[in-house]
Amino acid sequence: MSEQANHPTILIVDDTPVNIQVLASSMKSSYQIKIATSGAKALEIAGKTPPPDLILLDIMMPEMDGYEVCTRLKQSEATARIPVIFVTAMSEQRDEAKGLALGAVDYITKPFVPELVMARIKNHLELKLYRDNLEQLVQARTRELEVTQEVTIRSMGTLAEYRDPETGGHIKRTQDYVRTLAEHLKEHPRFRAQLNPAAIRLLYKSAPLHDIGKVGVPDQILLKPGKLTDEEFAQMKQHTIYGRDAIANSSADLGAESFLTCAQEIAATHHEKWDGSGYPSGLRGDEIPVSGRLMALADVYDALVSKRVYKPPFPHAKAVAIISEGRGSHFDPDIVDAFLAIAGEFREIALRFADCEEERRNLEDGLTVA
């Protein structure tokens, strides 16, 4: 690649050839030059990849003046960030104010001094480079923070999984169930405001912590190969409280809007029921956060189709039938309707992350949705 090919590209937009010649001749040793003699041609060139690094734009042009060109450049995501410098004979302060208000970074009046134009181009290109590098740094740090959050949540969630070795894929499956449900419901009138892309990503990241409180449940209860007594079940139900409080303690220094807030919500409410008969708080209907309602269904489906110390895995069709029966009592009716519409996707997720051959066989055989 030649040295010239590495130089920034300047687009000169002017309908007067002599103006183009003066500008181009003063810049050709330092920059690559592109030329447009009309507003329409300028927009065409600016919209190509790669776009110019900076645009020198005349105002007084036929058909489409420079103000209109600048307006259209700033309205397009592809060209909005290109610095625009007006170079024009219109020297009134109101003309300059209008140009800057449209998004131009500078305003140079004719007759111009080429050295002054070069100095201003250099300054604005350096500012653009600094801004672009800063944004890249912010994006990199943001991604680094997101990865740190994901690792933190996954590590905490694994603690609960270690306590119950027969549910190795439970975390991954329930993550995918919740995301799949949320994606299906994101345009539903009841959920549209809450299930935006950022919220769905947070739900997905937070889901692994729904059972973190099980680390506080004694092994003889958590791993009991049979039905729990009333006293044992009362202790088991405490895992929602343990999880809520553990996450609350971890997130206290991060503020009320921390990334762990959603996880705390899920841990505390994924055993609440639509009719108010759930635990730990007996919430009903919309009192239960959407995150808890989604996790409730995902958790029950996974418990049904998975092998546990106290039960064999159920076929997919039986799990679907049980969840359907819980519509309006255990589960939010609209969430059940969404589940029934995409039950096949749940089955595929369960197959992909099945923990044992018995689970896989039941899922493969249970093709008929009841």
Residue 346: closest CA among 123, 175, 107, 97: 175
- What is the CB neighbour count within 10 angstroms for residue 331? 23
More confident call, 220 vs 296: 296
Return the CATH number of the domain spanning residue range 4-135. Answer: 3.40.50.2300
pTM: 0.62
Residue 240, pLDDT > 80, answer yes
Residue 332: closest CA among 282, 281, 292: 292
**What amino acid is encoded at 10 in this protein?**
I
Summarize pLDDT for 29-86 with one digit per residue, the tens: 889 999 999 999 999 999 998 999 999 999 999 889 999 999 999 999 999 999 999 9
Lowest mean pLDDT of 262-276, 326-340, 354-368, name the range: 354-368
Average pLDDT, the chain: 87
Return the CATH number of the domain spanning residue range 164-365. Answer: 1.10.3210.10
Residue 291, pLDDT > 60, answer yes
Helices (H), the chain: 17-27, 39-46, 66-75, 93-101, 114-163, 170-185, 197-206, 219-222, 230-237, 239-251, 260-269, 290-305, 316-325, 333-341, 343-352, 357-365
Residue 8, pLDDT > 60, answer yes
More confident call, 307 vs 198: 198
Quote the pLDDT of residue 164. 62
- What is the CB neighbour count within 10 angstroms for residue 339? 26
- In this prediction, residues 256-261 reach a mean pLDDT of 70
Quote the pLDDT of residue 4. 44
Q: pLDDT tier at 1 (50, 70, 90 boundaries)? A: very low
The domain limits of the chain are: 4-135, 164-365
More confident call, 299 vs 140: 299
